[in-house]
């Protein structure tokens, strides 16, 4: 929503300047009207694309795991690449919908995309990286090299 901000004239503000400049602009008034009259339900139809998904990066004993919640997609929508120790997870999805009846025709289309990139540490065995997509969760497993795996705590006996 827009907020009214006093307008400065020639670098100074006079208390008597309450003319045209103190009125809201037409776009500001329109935004306020729509927001108050229709609420978020009306405005939500204008932003139906994919936003940047949140990611969990988990440091397990033998692997690093990247989890991303991205429901409503297919495995074929994803592009996962490794280039110069950078992991890229991206999606490009185009949707088309046609609906016709006796009195109207409606055609909708959309295009959504995102790309997340991660630096891969030298301790990862790049040749063994795997990915799965199940129940809306993309899971990429980055196995650690043997020398990088956490070793169990060694207790030293005192003599």
pLDDT of residue 108: 75
| Domain locations in the chain as residue ranges | 18-47, 55-148
pLDDT of residue 45: 40
> Which of 72, 73, 115, 110 lies closest to 94 in space, CA to CA?
110
pLDDT of residue 22: 52
Question: What CATH fold (topology level) applies to the domain 55-148?
Answer: Immunoglobulin-like (2.60.40)
Per-residue pLDDT for the chain (159 aa), expressed as one digit of tens each? 333 344 444 444 444 445 545 555 555 544 554 444 444 443 334 444 557 888 999 999 899 999 999 998 889 999 999 999 899 999 988 777 777 777 777 777 777 788 999 999 999 999 999 999 999 999 999 999 988 777 788 899 999
pLDDT of residue 17: 47
């Amino acid at each position: 929503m827009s907020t009214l901000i006093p307008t400065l004239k020639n670098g100074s503000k006079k208390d008597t300047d309450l003319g045209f400049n103190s009125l809201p602009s037409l776009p500001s008034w329109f935004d306020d009207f729509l927001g108050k009259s229709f609420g978020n339900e009306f405005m939500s139809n204008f932003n139906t694309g994919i936003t940047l998904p949140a990611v969990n990066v988990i440091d397990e004993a033998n692997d690093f795991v990247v989890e991303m919640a991205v429901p409503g997609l297919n495995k074929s929508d994803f592009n996962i690449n490794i280039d110069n120790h950078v992991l890229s997870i991206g999606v490009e999805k185009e949707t088309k919908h046609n609906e016709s009846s006796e009195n109207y025709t409606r055609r909708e289309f959309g295009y959504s995309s995102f790309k997340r990139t991660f630096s891969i540490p030298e301790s990862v065995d790049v040749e063994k990286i795997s990915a799965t997509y199940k129940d809306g969760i993309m899971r990429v497993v980055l196995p650690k090299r043997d020398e990088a795996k956490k070793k169990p705590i060694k207790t030293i006996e005192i003599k």
